[in-house]
Amino acid sequence: MKVSDLRIIIDEREKKSGIPKLLSAIGIKTEIKTLLVGDYIVGPETIIERKSIQDLLSSVFDGRLFDQCSRLKENFQNPILLIEGNVDEIELITENPLIFYGALATIAMVTGLMPVVGVPLPLLSYGGTAMLSIMISFGLLLNVNVNDHLKKLKNQII
């Protein structure tokens, strides 16, 4: 398939991002419409919702994000949540960066991007793998977060 054969339907609110112009500049056919869900339809069953970190966190707090992701999954087989920005911004935006990671885990489970029941492991019941994986992931995130804060405190003291 050639780039010129590609066609992407873009939500009209994405015009200000400059992405539609960039896609057109490289030869991709674009069609601007008002989409009820998502920002970019890139295939018959694939849609992309693009969010900056700031927008992601604000939509978590006002409850929009989970509704948007549920509607994406209801209407498309392959929803994609594209988060753009610097992860270090999270600490500047919110006091508790774990909210961000918790939201991502919830979204992944709601949209089916992560298994909810899991794969059986020895000595664990069916579904225990998903819980174990999530607990390990959160433990690693907490460890990274705590170590980062400790380094910052040491640098302030020195």
Average pLDDT of the residues in 27-43: 93
Average pLDDT of the segment spanning 84-97: 81
> HEC states along the chain?
CCHHHCEEEEEHHHHHHCHHHHHHHCCCEEEEECCCCCCEEEECCEEEEEEEHHHHHHHHHCCHHHHHHHHHHHHCCEEEEEEECCCCHHHHHCCCCHHHHHHHHHHHHHCCCCCCCCCCCCCCCCCHHHHHHHHHHHHHHHHHHHHHHHHHHHHHHC
Q: Residue 67: CB partners within 8 Å, gap ≥ 6?
A: none
Segment 8-27 shows an average pLDDT of 92
More confident residue, 134 or 102: 102
Give pLDDT, residue 122: 52
Q: What is the pLDDT of residue 39?
A: 95
What local confidence, expressed as pLDDT, does residue 136 receive?
A: 75
Q: What is the pLDDT of residues 2-14, one digit of tens each?
A: 767 788 999 999 9
pLDDT, averaged across the chain: 80
